[in-house]
Amino acid sequence: MRLFFLFLLAASTTSAAENRDAIFQKTIESLFPKLVEIRRDIHSHPELSNEEARTSKSVEAHLRSLGITDIKTGVAKHGIVAILKGDHEGPCVALRADMDALPIKELRSTPYRSQVPGVMHACGHDVHTTCAMGVAELLSKHRDLLHGSVKFLFQPAEEAMPATFKGDWGAKLMVAEGVMENPRPAAIFGLHTTAVVQPAGITDDEVHYLKAGQIGYTPGIDNANSDRFHIVIHGKMAHGSAPHKGVDAIAIASEAVMALQMIKSRQTNTRQPLVISIGTIHGGDRENIIAEKVELGGTVRTYDAKFRDGIIEQMHRILKGITEAHGASYEMEYRKTYPSIQNNLDLVAATLPAFQRICGEKNVIELTPGMGGEDFSYFAQIVPGFYFRLGVANEEKGIIHGGHTPLFDCDEESIKTGVAAMAAAVCDFLDSAAKVTR
């Protein structure tokens, strides 16, 4: 008997959610041209981390135009926290959208391409910001369907700063400034535009796209502990024709670069995911002078925090050994940048039905976690979090490039899915917390 009632409850809740989806869908369709305009404006005016003044201003103006009054600006430099209250009492749930761009020269020739030389929204944060602005507008038109409140976190500086950068930034700084309190949200959602993925259970090297209209997710770990390091190798300058009178920092740095790769291939358990990449190398003043100093910059990616500590020790051992062997010395600044995201399993399970209603069951795809880094983890360490992937690829339109590349783009149809998925996730969560059956 009890089971029967539970079934009835589930059925009525599902149909109520479906009715709400249909109402939202109509509004999203009517908002879509405006959202495309907003996305194109942000895309063509990209701003680097901690410089998002213009983007922040347009987000603020948009929120004010919706009648939202609980708005705090200047959070963690250019961040915004805004609270939208529903007509009904209930808990608070948070949505996070990052706003910054990258120092990459855009190579696509779309009408909305970057107008800022050397700066590009190559990580899709323009679409994240647009989706959150869309959700704010949608829900502000349907406050009667909202059982609680939504806290919007428009975040600056998600893209990591160099290892030598002093102080905190982005999500970590927002948390330090109290954005997860007053009120503390019961859960947080974030999305990331994604074109190329590795579906769970598939180990081939084929390219798999996450298309506009699809959503990807990982239950549990989503991505890696993402760290930065900066190494300086000190040698001794000499004439290039008499290398024995100096200590060649370039030759020693070359040996160190190769030896650091031996950590992954020969010194750690192959079952532990690990990436050590060196992305910058600078040294030397002239062709015929033995270089006195070489600087190396790179990143380390791991899943396991204890394993990561072991890697740092191994790096020091290698650098110490190689530099001492050649009469040189070194310094390394190692910065544990972003912890890995752990999606909350209960929250994932409770949210997937919303995504399946929006996209259709076959278009909600479980993925293998990647080795990327994301500071959404700082929020998800405090309250249950779900960070999911918004498909943006479209082969017919030639939108097939991965993030952080000069050809990256997003099929704008994905904005509809992003807004619908976020809104449904939030409302399902608030409805179940408020035990709404309608």
Closer to Zn ion by CB, 374 or 431: give it.
Answer: 374
Closer to Zn ion by CB, 330 or 387: give it.
Answer: 387
Shortest reach from residue 312's CB to Zn ion, in Å: 24
Shortest reach from residue 112's CB to Zn ion, in Å: 19
- Strands of the sheet containing 293-302, edge to edge, are 274-283, 293-302, 225-234, 329-338
Terminal CA-CA length for the chain: 21
Asked if residue 162 lies in contact with residue 231, where contact means CB atoms within 8 angstroms, the answer is no
Task: Give the integer Cα–Cα distance in Å for 188 and 16.
Answer: 23
What are 230's strand-pairing partners? 297, 333
- What is the number of the residue whose Cβ is closest to Zn ion? 123
Task: Give the integer Cα–Cα distance in Å for 116 and 118.
Answer: 6
Q: Can residue 157 be called a binding residue for Zn ion (CB under 5 A)?
A: no
Catalytic residue at 206?
no
Q: Which residue has the tokens 């926290």?
A: 81
Closest CA to 302 of 333, 268, 266: 268
Helices 125-141 and 413-433, packing angle to 10 deg: 50
Question: Which segment (31-39, 75-83, 115-123, 134-142) binds Zn ion by CB under 5 A?
Answer: 115-123
| Cis peptide leading into residue 183 (ω within 30°) | yes
Shortest reach from residue 103's CB to Zn ion, in Å: 11
Closer to Zn ion by CB, 123 or 352: give it.
Answer: 123
Q: Can residue 123 be called a binding residue for Zn ion (CB under 5 A)?
A: yes
Question: Which segment (117-125, 144-152, 311-319, 377-385) binds Zn ion by CB under 5 A?
Answer: 117-125
Shortest reach from residue 188's CB to Zn ion, in Å: 16
Closer to Zn ion by CB, 123 or 247: give it.
Answer: 123
Q: Can residue 95 be called a binding residue for Zn ion (CB under 5 A)?
A: no
Size of the residue set binding Zn ion (CB under 5 A): 1
Identified catalytic residue from 52, 98, 137, 158: 158
Binding string, 374-413, against Zn ion, x = CB under 5 A?
----------------------------------------
Shortest reach from residue 300's CB to Zn ion, in Å: 17
Q: Which residues contact 378 (CB under 8 A, 6 or more apart)?
A: 171, 172, 174, 175, 338, 339
Catalytic residue at 222?
no
Closer to Zn ion by CB, 152 or 387: give it.
Answer: 387
Asked if residue 78 lies in contact with residue 54, where contact means CB atoms within 8 angstroms, the answer is no
The Cα-based distances of 136 to 74, 380, 422 in angstroms read 19, 21, 10
Closer to Zn ion by CB, 90 or 418: give it.
Answer: 418
Task: Give the integer Cα–Cα distance in Å for 138 and 133.
Answer: 9
Shortest reach from residue 320's CB to Zn ion, in Å: 33
Asked if residue 199 lies in contact with residue 188, where contact means CB atoms within 8 angstroms, the answer is no
Binding string, 257-276, against Zn ion, x = CB under 5 A?
--------------------
Identified catalytic residue from 21, 98, 100, 375: 100
Could you tell me where the DSSP H helices lie in 373-435? Answer: 377-380, 413-433
Question: Which segment (54-62, 120-128, 225-233, 322-330) binds Zn ion by CB under 5 A?
Answer: 120-128
Asked if residue 415 lies in contact with residue 193, where contact means CB atoms within 8 angstroms, the answer is no
Residues lying near Zn ion in the complex (CB under 5 A): 123
Active site residues per annotation = 100, 158
